[in-house]
Chain A
Amino acid sequence: MESDSIHKLTMPKWGLSMTHGKIIEWLVPEGAEVSAGAEVLEVETEKITGCVESSTGGTLRRQVAKLDQDVPIGGLLAVVADPSVSDNEIDRFVEGFVLEESCDESAADDIAPEFVEVGGRRLRYLKQGEGGQPVVLIHGFTGSLDNWLFNHAALAQQRTVYALDLPGHGQSSKDVGDGSLDMLIGALQDWLDELSLSRVHLVGHSLGGAVALGVALRSPDRVRSCTLIASAALGPEIDADYIDGVVEANRRKQLKPFLERLFADPSRVTRQLVDDLLKFKRVDGVPDALRKLSKNFVANGKQVSVFRSELDQLQSPTQAIWGEEDQIIPASHGAGLPDLISVELLANCGHMVQMEAAREVNQLVLSFLEKAE
């Protein structure tokens, strides 16, 4: 359908449960130039608000979807084309657009999460993409594989990318043993063994960064590279009040202000985002698991495990990415790291930098992976 001169922007699929998105705002007016990767419009899903980017450069010729309109995944949002293309041709393109539903459904079937029994625990993971050297995404405290909804598919275009739910999180088993970081590191290693993943690229966010670092330090032969996003274990400071808050708050009203600290732009916290965490915290075993994990993670207002003094032992390429406005773990932890670790700071982003600046983070990870390979 897409010709060389006419390019379509369609509704992306962010996360497993997304079926449609609502147009919140057009960031580019009709007739304006867009570059490849430019943010064209803002879309709200049940979970979160994100930006749809142009995959190509050109003129934004048509805003097809209207404000407040609900558009299914794959539905036509906009048309980008060279000014030399006539309005008639654009009209014909828009009229001739057919939503490829069957294609979408089969794609959705392909990316169902799987479960595997490791060390007496059932761990859930989601695999996307094929080939290349595998990448593993590790979420942070109270997170789940859904935290990568803006990243997973983008990173998996040319390689296999796994995202897993750590013990006590997502839909994995809620048994966290002693709740220590060692337990989480061991669980990740066991999971790698179970899936016969001998050497992987690790991408860890927050507490997941500490887990990735732990594996890289302990089993350097297993790790090709390490990307640490707003990572724990690089310094003692942390918003301990946030950790207590998300563990103990059980009403939407109490929880929301804490979750707003995760983002530079607090309006990113949708009702559904709060609801998902509330629903998770109601599951049998979760409150106990989170309390155990948090005690091992933060004590007396400080992070318990800090690997800073061991970083010079890292054998694999490592990069750190931080949102400058991170309120949970300060971006200053990215300063003064050994020279081998490249550090990227992103402006106007908070702790969930992989959501707030998904495009930039994806690009940083992809180009880092290419170099590391």
Chain B
Amino acid sequence: MARRLTFQQAINEALDQEMARDESVIVMGEDVAGGQGTEGEMDAWGGVLGVTKGLYAKHGDRVMDTPISESAFIGAAIGAATSGLRPVVELMFNDFLGVCFDQIFNQAAKFRYMFGGKAETPVVIRTMIGSGFRAAAQHSQSLYSIFTHIPGLKCVVPSTPYDAKGLLIEAIRDNDPVIFFEHKKLYPLEGEVPQELYTIPFGEAEVVREGDDVTIITLAEMVHESLKAAETMAKDGVECEVIDLRTTSPLDEETLLDSVASTGRVVVVDEANPRCSIATDISALIVQNAFDKLKAPIRMVTAPHTPVPFADNLEDLYKPNAEKIASAVREVSEYKAWKATASTS
């Protein structure tokens, strides 16, 4: 019987088991070992939300606390990766990645290419995304689209405990830089997770619900909101196919286009801001490759083009939810093309 673990425990177990399997795997970041008020010997904190708790006691100095200097320790991790280690470096909130853009965009992402394929950078950067925590504009963004834009980076955005473990192990074993985005709202989510080590290949989207009427394409926490919306719509006789991207780079175009070919109606759901986003990227992909299959305009359910508000009521308004998704599904499912309308009037 597969055990039930939380999303957070699944990540911890992936790190623990990979560290036990492969000595070159190290963990670095702010407070990942000792943490607040200790000198790194007490294994007190395990990162800001305790994801790496317990690793220091088991793996000792391979779990390293770093100073509060993101540009320095991300650079150090990338350097360590080029010289034989497999660092998994935690950068608390993805909102802070801005201070180490050069190390990520221009160094790690380019090494393989600039050195004629002779350099590998097997680094994993773990970082938290997501709104809904009343944590205001600088701790609540979902910035995966920025990293998806850069060739040379792989971007992973899991939505379940099972996927989190399998994708993180795949990320650690991958020889390219991987940014691993963890939605903090998912940390307490429970699900069945095998004890054994396993990997989930990048670039394989998961069809989490099958349906013939409308395709909902989504990722991270919005997978769960989309499933709720699909449940609601099923009561009205509209069957949604819900696709979880799992990785935004590489992107599983085939699964998306196959589904669109069978439904012809698409809603893309993304918690991030709408411009130059995963939602626009997917929409463009579909329009370019499956325009003749579409029976209705694509609807995007996203946050508005504003920072994440701090006020409770505004943040609730900002964030996509099952209700908004269901209403978009209803709209595309009821849409009739002009010709059809004309012929009936």
Binding site for B on A (CB under 8 A): 16-17, 112-113, 171, 250-253, 271, 279, 282-284
Offer 10 A-B interface pairs, CB within 8 angstroms, sorted by A: A17-B1, A17-B2, A113-B1, A279-B198, A282-B198, A282-B200, A283-B197, A283-B198, A284-B198, A284-B199
A253 vs B196: C-alpha distance when bound (angstroms): 25
How many B residues touch A, CB cutoff 8 Å? 17
Secondary structure class of chain B's binding surface, majority of residues: loop
- B1 touches which one: A16, A251, A253, A284 (CB < 8 A)? A16
Beta-carbon contact of B2 and A284 below 8 Å: no
A252 vs B2: C-alpha distance when bound (angstroms): 20
How many A-B pairs have beta carbons closer than 8 Å: the answer is: 29
**With a CB–CB cut-off of 8 A, which chain A residues contact B201?**
250
Which residues of B122-171 have CB atoms within 8 Å of chain A's CB atoms?
162, 166
- A282 touches which one: B2, B166, B207, B258 (CB < 8 A)? B166
**With a CB–CB cut-off of 8 A, which chain B residues contact A16?**
1
Beta-carbon contact of B199 and A282 below 8 Å: yes
Interface string of B218-243 (1 = CB under 8 A from A): 00000000000000000000000000
**How far is the CB of A69 from the nearest CB of chain B, in Å?**
15
A252 vs B194: C-alpha distance when bound (angstroms): 19
A284 vs B195: C-alpha distance when bound (angstroms): 11
Beta-carbon contact of A284 and B196 below 8 Å: yes
Does any Cβ of A come within 8 Å of B210's Cβ?
A: yes
Beta-carbon contact of A283 and B194 below 8 Å: yes
**How far is the CB of B258 from the nearest CB of chain A, in Å?**
8
**With a CB–CB cut-off of 8 A, which chain A residues contact B61?**
none
**With a CB–CB cut-off of 8 A, which chain B residues contact A171?**
194-196
Beta-carbon contact of A252 and B199 below 8 Å: no
Which residues of B253-271 have CB atoms within 8 Å of chain A's CB atoms?
258
Nearest to A282 among chain B residues (CB) is B198
Does any Cβ of A come within 8 Å of B174's Cβ?
A: no
**How far is the CB of B259 from the nearest CB of chain A, in Å?**
11
A103 vs B247: C-alpha distance when bound (angstroms): 44
A241 vs B195: C-alpha distance when bound (angstroms): 31
Nearest to A17 among chain B residues (CB) is B1
**How far is the CB of A259 from the nearest CB of chain B, in Å?**
16
**With a CB–CB cut-off of 8 A, which chain B residues contact A17?**
1-2, 192
Does any Cβ of A come within 8 Å of B190's Cβ?
A: no
**How far is the CB of B216 from the nearest CB of chain A, in Å?**
17
Asked, given contacts A17-B2, A113-B1, whether A284 binds B197 with beta carbons under 8 Å apart, the answer is yes
Nearest to B21 among chain A residues (CB) is A284
Does any Cβ of A come within 8 Å of B331's Cβ?
A: no
**How far is the CB of A30 from the nearest CB of chain B, in Å?**
27
A16 vs B3: C-alpha distance when bound (angstroms): 12
**How far is the CB of B21 from the nearest CB of chain A, in Å?**
9
Does any Cβ of A come within 8 Å of B95's Cβ?
A: no
Most chain A CB within 10 A, of B1, B200, B207, is at B1
